A and B are shown apart, each in its own frame.
Chain A
Amino acid sequence: MIKIARSPLLWFAVIAIAVAALLPLWVSGYILGILTVAYYYGVFSMAWDLLFGFAGEVNFGPTFLIGLGAYGAALLDNAGLGVPLSMIGGTVAALVGGLMLALPALRMRGPYFGLVTLVAVLILQNVIVIFAHFTGGEIGMTVADVLSIDTNVNYWYALGFMVVCGIILFGLSRSALGLILQASGQDPIEAQALGFNVTKHKLAAFCISAIFSGLTGTMLVFYMGAASVGTIVDISIGVQIIIAAVLGGRRTILGGVIGAIFLILATEFLRPLGQLNTFVVSGVALLVILFFPDGMFGYLLRRGERG
């Protein structure tokens, strides 16, 4: 405990959260809206990093889990279940869908797991379009309820949610389970020889990732008041989540938050450049990945390790 209290990381995080919580005092509602989305993306990236950075499995389709959560919650809410029950239902949908995907896929070796997750996104997209009668198809669907109509409240919801998820996921990554997961991801044969059921642990990581992705998906849909393929399920959203996690730093969990905030804020601030903004942001992301493969946050941690 004393060791944790002395960690500069903790104090840095506490100060950062305090500043973030007070932002509505100075910052416009427009910026708050952007940050709200960025915080949700931060949770997506953290959940993704638990699977990739620790269990060593690349999930190219994080939006499959997010989409199941979001659309599940939206459908349930429109059926009249109300926000809390719909959120639970959406999360369960993500978990069940994720399990159905992971059980067969995790048995495969190498890049095939990643390909299966990629295909899953395409299938979900198609299912949404085919059942347009229920899902609104390509146009999207609105939900009857929202979290709040107040920008500040929505912002605080997102911040609080991200902080809680961050604490849980970071804690998991530093726990005994996180240690076993890292061993399973880096050298499955050695991990098994040490007596660990690698498949079981990877499946657990996938379930945790699915729960957090799905739950965050339901939050997002009740924040936006609508769900559409383009804003929730599209492959490009998944790519952004992955880039944010790698940019922030693989195997750091918290790096995902930094990466997501950077990515979304940078895209927003460079909007005056017109179409060029995504180009510039992608360029910066590429440079960071090429020259600092540990990511922004990972680079700082690594320097501490050498010292």
Chain B
Amino acid sequence: MSGEVILRTKGLTKRFGGLVAVNNIGFDVNAGEILGLIGPNGSGKSTVMQLIMGIHKPTAGEVLLGGENVAGWPPHRIARHGIGIVFQHSRPLHRQTVLENIKLALLPDSLIKLAADPHVDRQAREIAERVGLGAVINRHPSTLAFADLRRIEMAKAIARDPKVVLVDEPFAGLAADEVKVFSDLIRDFRNDGRAVLLVDHNVKSVSALADRVFAMYLGERVTEGTAEEVMQNETVRRVYLGGKIETIQKDEAESEAKPPLLEVRGVKAFYGKAQALDNVSIEVKEGQFISVVGLNGAGKTTLFNAISGLVPYQGEIRFAGETLRGKTAGAIGRAGVVQCPETRELFTDMTVRENLDLGGYHMPPAETAKQLAWMFELFPILNSRQNQRAGTLSGGEQQMLAIARALMMQPKLLILDEPTLGLAPVILEQLSKALELLRQTTSITVLLGEQNVTFALPHADRVYVLEHSRIIWEGKPQRFAEEMGAGYL
């Protein structure tokens, strides 16, 4: 099936400041071949894609397109040289029709060509037919379904007639039958003899499509091979499932007997036309530690943002017996729901101490001092870093600071959204210890969202598994391994 090498990366490396996002990555993609590039969030796979496209310039290494090194070229030159990209988010021109959006991709990069060549119109119509947009060709994007918006992105990539197609999360937000249609479109790329690079979070979603899979973790190559081989790989299993899943025995009867602090019932949420939450219900009792696990894009962050009043939703969310509907994000925060977002949102130009002080701003000074002392007990490293600018901390320290700042606000419910994002295993252990200490020393209620199961399970009283915007499993962490283990990867 596979022909000559079209795209080859060699020693591709990218540093952002002190952070090594991509380290010495090298792979080949042949003509008529689909390579799946997988890795959990923060593994650097998207950065690799951006390096190939030229959106970021690599710190070192080569991107060879048909033998020519295009690393460091501006994106428009790389695009003209034969690399196309299908973005995950569709951002069409809204004032233009579907047809005009496709025509755009067929235009030359010229200032003086004011009218499109006549063949452009015919070509655009053919491409629209091919991706299944024939019926809506004269409509405006705002009137289209989500899958059709993705089809426009697909059509634009086809129009560019690239030798290499990069596809970012091809199936995000699509229903099962639509996944089939898009899989066929991607297979068509292969049948046309193009080299295809699929970038996704997990092996499962690309295994049916990819000829080979290249797995990354923390910027490094983990393994390469067929989908089955990669799924068997020890490191891959550890990255996604964790090694041995340990759980801490707790007095369940006691924790389940408490009154519920947070009740989420039948919540649905949409981003434009993409459904992010579908009938999600969870319950958190006072003092419990509840984990919501799910791969990236499953809907965890949307769920937390709905609870925090940051995204509109249908359904009911109650906190301490009162409905949160109609309350502003600020009011919800003051009621005691504090979210520690995955993006951390630190004030990077302020010192560690200033960040913490801002968290405790609403309290009397004596209280703040007490709270601060407790934070330094939980996270000793922050004590020695008090006067350092938050932006200069390592990823792990930043995460600790983000959690500490959230705790300074004395939350009743602490929501931690993917605290392990992009952190090295040794940091995870420190973080895990701090969470355990938090559990033992306070009666705080915690809702944790994670894709790293090993991290999420040990502390949890109960676990929910979120997949494709639905809760597909709920139960004790002890039962997770036997009931969910294999299906999760």
Chain A positions near chain B (C-beta within 8 angstroms):
171-172, 175-177, 179-180, 182-183, 186-187, 189-198, 200-201, 204, 251, 305-306
Contacts and interface: CB of A to CB of B under 8 A. Distances in A.
Contact of A186 (B93, B103, B105, B109): B93
Contacts of A177: 111, 113-114
A195 B91 contact: no
A193 B160 CA distance: 10
Contacts of A204: 111
How big is chain B's contact interface, by range? 20 to 34
Nearest to A201: B111
Contacts of A194: 76, 79, 104-105, 156, 160
A177 B343 CA distance: 38
Q: Is the interface of B mostly helix, strand, loop or mixed?
A: loop
Nearest to B86: A193
Contacts of B104: 179-180, 183, 194
Interface in B142-190: 143, 156, 160
15 contacts: A177-B111, A177-B114, A179-B96, A179-B104, A180-B109, A182-B96, A186-B91, A192-B75, A192-B79, A193-B55, A193-B79, A193-B84, A194-B156, A196-B76, A196-B109
A149 B55 CA distance: 57
Contacts of B143: 306
B7 to A, nearest CB: 15
B119 interface: no
A176 B107 contact: yes
Contacts, number: 75
Contacts of A305: 95, 140
Given A179-B107, A189-B55, A195 B114 contact: no
B80 interface: yes
A194 B162 CA distance: 10
Q: Is the interface of A mostly helix, strand, loop or mixed?
A: helix
A190 B116 contact: no
Interface of B: 53-55, 74-76, 79-80, 84-85, 87, 91, 93, 95-96, 100, 103-105, 107, 109-111, 113-116, 140, 143, 156, 160
A179 B103 CA distance: 9
Nearest to B81: A195
Given A175-B114, A192-B79, A196-B76, A182 B91 contact: no
A289 to B, nearest CB: 19
B72 to A, nearest CB: 14
Contacts of B79: 192-195
Contacts of B95: 182, 251, 305
Given A190-B87, A201-B111, A179 B74 contact: no
A39 B100 CA distance: 32
A194 B100 CA distance: 14
Contacts of B111: 177, 200-201, 204
